[in-house]
Structure 1
């Protein structure tokens, strides 16, 4: 019988050779916008002065139906960062969300794009470790668990103090989902993204990385494109097509916007509002001393914060110091304090002792900076 190789057949039944799967950083110049114009990225993140944002730009399962069972993609990720001696980890489950609104049928028809995985993370120059798994989850079996998980989260997420409770719900829901009969790990990725001088491999910088269920020697980085946030394969971005012959995860690293306008939502900083108000209400003879003291305590907390970059901290120091100084001047004049928008337009007036972080307007143009340790007067 020509072509019949019993040895090869037996070997295939009892053994399988491993293969190195493809994991590629999308080359510079291969990320284009909707008009096929190249998108420029910085070569690295500025240490202590950039917010790292990580998202799952796209995930895809080659096979969404086997016999009578339908599957949809879910990515379970762990992003670890910070001091190697005391690292922080963010766990996320990325899959069809808001299931109560879209129903539980045909979940494979949901287009899974741009799931936030971690961030904003103030880049500290340490490695960022990513562990991601792409799972094929049976649609009907997994829907109920995800609905239950989302329902529990919707009732506790507004409570800032419930972080551990949120983590517990995610952990339990994920364990239940991954324990469903038929759930399969289709593709896994475990990699560290290094600082520019930190080692061989991918550099922590804005851009895209892709993991594919295809042998590494079969993946040609020059054929990979990201067009308007989606993976394409071809000779150029115009003729390139969305890949359908392998499973893949497309991960995006990008820089988050400044957070000066939301510093008041950070609990450790917002908690100083009562101290500022008490200082402003002090007797006229003691008021400046009391405000200086409250501001120095606030500065110490601001310096410890891991939620703001160095430049954002400088801007917050400047804006808060000027706001307090203006309030004291209004108290000395016996007038109302004018709240301004954009540095020019007066929108309302209020009691000078009513310090409110969210009402501090941001000036137009470049934000002011203030060095640490300076008294207001």
Structure 2
């Protein structure tokens, strides 16, 4: 069975896998697992696939996947990659050491045992690729219908604290709320064992999500903000930030989406954006872009917008969500393009300026041009 909302070449790759097993290993049962099944149920775009193979021993599995032309990755219980598809044996993971690598892996005997290792019920769904039947051992379909994030197995869940951050970013991506018992469990979990790479990986997914205010609520409610960022927030502050995040989603430049969350958090809580970047271990591009941005002032004047547009068109300002900024910048002609003061260094060189005097006079004339174009207020 090929899920109906698969893009090319994913559908073609899946057909090749299904045809291969149908011809050479007809008794092997293939199940689509994880987020792809969730997204199929929700009608969302599917970008990659995970398949688990039941009814085949590890040695035969290895030889079969090599025959298919898939590439093996990992160490214990190989996962094979075939294009955009991960193909693996169903497994059980048992915590035996510290960190996300401290797990012992063994072969699962059935679908329920295999799906128990999943974090949330919505991610524990399995699709039988022969019959098209969805296997739902944990109530994931009902939780998707109710838009709820619920832990599958509390005992297994606490073995990997990254799952708390996954709940946060899923809330922002799917607009789901976190079920109370699951929320209480996650609040009790320490997060000090997470590596910088894993922390940023989950935060980045949230930064790119459409429902930032849901992620904001989850980050505060699950104590992620307190444990990782050292931040707290009262109800009034949350409401203000949530409103700003909702507005930024509808107004902001799509290319700037990853940076709105930190910008709004730092502006509204009066914290350094660069310091927040360091807490969650962002790449340097985040620090560079955020340090180049101006915070939203208490009183926004035309002159402020004009000076800001010397740097970039106002549509690229992360404070675009502020009241009437879009309307005013469009009227001033600086929403889509930077303001050109018409001052060129070559002109000043011809007038005899050089060195520090040249830089000082250049700044003076540019500011004079801004005042002339946008007024002298502020």
TM-score of the pair, normalised by structure 2? 0.26
Larger relative contact order (Cα-Cα within 8 Å, sequence gap ≥ 6): 1
Structure richer in strand, relative to its length: 1
